[in-house]
Structure 1
C-alpha cells in the first residue's frame, strides 16, 4: 500500500511512519516536506522524501495522510501568526484536493485522511461532545478547523476521514513536553478553574486509530481522536503529579495565562468533553481508555 504523508516529521506523522515500519506493515511511504534535510535526519532510509507536490501523481497512491500545519501553540496568536496557522493548513489541503480531483477517479477513489482538532467545537457547555455537535462559540480554533475540514471534504474522488485530535500524550514531544517541567519541579497545578475538560489520547492509540481508518476506507466523515474518558484539567493535573510522585499545589490563575499567552489561553481555559463515539461504534479498541495508565506509560520513559 502506497501512502503519501504531509507533516511526516511532526509528532503524529513521524510516530505513525516509525511504528508502521517497525511492525512490518506493508506500507510504502512518501513524505512531502519543506525541509528535505530535516526529514532525512528524522525518518528511515526507506521513506521517499519530496519537496514539491508536483513530483507525484495522486493516482499512484492508495492513501493520502494530511497532517501538515504550523504548530498551534508555538507562538503567541498575533494576526500574522493566525494567518500562518490557517494558511499552513488550508493551502496545502486545497492543493491536495485539487490534485485528487484531477488525477484520481470515482472507480478507484483514494483514501484521504486529513487533520483537524477538537477545537472545531469551540468552547462548549457541560455535557458529552460527539461528532454531531456544532460549535457553541465561534472562536479562532473553530474557524481554523472548520475551514480546514470544509476544504478536505471537497475531494470528489476520495473516501474522506477527518481526525479531530485532542491532546496527544507522548514521551517524544507534543503538549505534554511543555507541561512536564513545572510538575517535575513540584510546581504544577490546575489551570484557571480546573473545571474545563481536557480531551486526550495516547500516541499509541493515535497511531493505531489512523491505521484502523486506513484499513476501513468505508469509514468516512469526522472522528474524535480522543480517549473514551476525558478528564477535567484539575483531574489531569492531579493525575500527572501522582504519576511523577510530586505535589499538585500551585494553580495558575486565568489572568496570568492571558497575560502570557493572550488569546491562545482559550485553548487551556476552555475545553470540550469530547468522546470518540464514531471510532467506538466502528469497532476500534483503545489501548489506553483511562488517564492514569496512559500517563504512567509516558512518564516511565
Structure 2
C-alpha cells in the first residue's frame, strides 16, 4: 500500500512513516524544499502546488503538516502562520486530490481537540459543536478546507488529536524534563480536563482510520477517559518517582505564554466515541500506561531505595 504523508518530520508523522514501512508499506513524504531522497516529493502549500505524479497510485493521504501552536509566542504574525499553514495546506492538498483521475480511497486530515474550545466539565464527542477562541476557529477553517476532496467523493476523516504522550515532542516533551527535575506541578487550578493519547495509540488510530471504510468526518483521537490536569500531574509524579509540589499559577502562565495560556488552561473532556464504535482497541487506555509506554526501553524509572 502506498501512502502519502505531509508533516513527516514531526513527532506523529515520523512515527507513522516508521510504522508503515515496518509493515512493508510505501510512504511518500511531501516536503516544502527540493526533494533530496527517492521517497520525497515536492509541495508548496502557500502557493497551492502539490506534485501530482507523487500522488499517483496512493491508496491514502495523511495530512499532518502545520506550524507548532506552542513553538512561539502568539504574535499576530505567528497566529497567521498557525492558521495559514493548516488552512492553505489542507486546501492545496484537497484540490490536488480532487483533480486526480484516480484519487486515493481516503484523505486523513490532522485536526485537534482544540476544535471544542474550553468546554469545562461537559463530555464531548464528535457531534459536539465547535467552541470559541483562536484555536477553535482555526480548527473549523482547517477542516472546512478539505471540502474539495469530500465533494470529489474521497472518504475524508478529521483526526482530532489530543495531547500526545511522548517525551521527544509536543506539550509532553516539555513536561518530562520538568518532572524528572522535580519541578513538575499542576497548571492553574488543575481542574481542566486534558484529553491525552499515547504515541503508539495515535499511530494505530491513524492506521485504523485508513483501513476502516466506515470512518469519515471527525474522529477524536484521545484515550477513552480524559483526566484532569491535577490527576495527570499526580500520576506523572508517581510513575517518575518525583514530587509534584510546584503548581504553576494561571497568572504566571499568562505572563509567560501570552494568549496561548488560555488553551493550556482550557478544558476538553473529549471521548473517542467513533473510534471505539468502529472496533478500535487501545494499547494504552490509562494515563499510567500511556506514560510508561512513552519511556524508552531500559529507561523505566526505578523507585529509590
Q: Could you list the per-position Cα deviations for residues 134-192 of structure 1 after superposition, in whole angstroms to 9, with x for gaps in the alignment?
A: 134x1001011110001113312310011000000124322211011221111211110
Residue 59 of structure 1: CA displacement?
4.6
Q: Distance in 1 between matches of 2:147 and 2:101?
A: 15
Q: 2:190 aligns with which of 194, 201, 204?
A: 194
CA distance, structure 2, for counterparts of residue 173 and residue 35 of structure 1: 22
SS at match of 2:269: coil
Equivalent residue for 1:172, pick from 168, 174, 180: 168
Residue in structure 1 matched with residue 4 of structure 2 by the alignment: 4
In 2: Cα distance, 1:4 partner to 1:294 partner? 28
**Equivalent-residue separation in structure 2 for 1:195 and 1:115 (angstroms):** 27
Q: 1:117-156 maps to which residues of 2 (within 5 A)?
A: 117-136=112-131, 138-155=132-149, 156=151
The Cα shift of 1:35 comes to 4.1
Structure 1 residues without counterparts, runs of 5 or longer: none
2:269 matches 1:273: yes
Aligned-pair CA distance for 1:102? 1.5
Please report how far the alpha carbon of residue 297 of structure 1 lies from its aligned counterpart in structure 2 after TM superposition. 2.4
1:18 aligns with 2:18: yes
Paired residues for 1:102-121 under 5 Å: 102-104=99-101, 110-121=105-116
Superposed CA offset, 1:199-256 (max 9, x none): 0000100111111111113311100000001110000111111111011101000000
The answer on whether the counterparts of 2:58 and 2:104 sit within 8 Å (CA) in structure 1 is: no
Give the aligned partner of residue 29 of structure 2.
Answer: 31
1:78 aligns with 2:75: yes
How many angstroms apart in 1 are the aligned matches of 2:52 and 2:237?
47
Question: Aligned partners of 1:280 and 1:289: how far apart in 2?
Answer: 11
2:83 maps to 1:92: no
Q: Which runs of 4+ in 1 moved over 3 A?
A: none
Structure 2 CA distance for aligned equivalents of residues 295 and 259 of structure 1 = 29
Equivalences, count: 289
Cα deviation 1:91-139 (Å, max 9, x = unaligned): 111111111221146xx65310001000000010312110110134x10
Asked whether the equivalents of residues 160 and 218 of structure 2 are also in contact (C-alpha less than 8 Å), the reply is: yes
Q: 1:182-221 residue pairs with structure 2 within 5 A?
A: 182-221=178-217
1:68 aligns with 2:65: yes
Unmatched runs of 5 consecutive residues or more in structure 2: 44-48, 300-305
Mapped to 1, the partners of 2:230 and 2:283 lie a distance apart of 23
Q: Distance in 1 between matches of 2:237 and 2:182?
A: 8
- Select 1:290's aligned residue among 276, 286, 293: 286
| Residues 39-98 of structure 1 deviation map (CA, whole Å, 9 limit, x = unaligned) | x6xxxx7x6102235433445321111000011100011110000001111111111111
Q: 1:102 to 1:65 in 2, by over 3 A?
A: same
- Shift in alpha-carbon separation, 1:178–1:92, aligned structure 2, 3 A: same
TM value normalised by structure 1: 0.91
Q: Which whole-Å CA distance do the structure 2 matches of 1:100 and 1:68 have between them?
A: 16
State the partner residue of 2:40.
49
8 Å CA contact retained: 2:111, 2:160: yes
What is the alpha-carbon distance in structure 2 between the residues aligned to residue 109 and residue 61 of structure 1?
A: 6
TM-score scaled by structure 2? 0.90
Stretch deviating more after TM superposition (92-101 or 274-283): 92-101
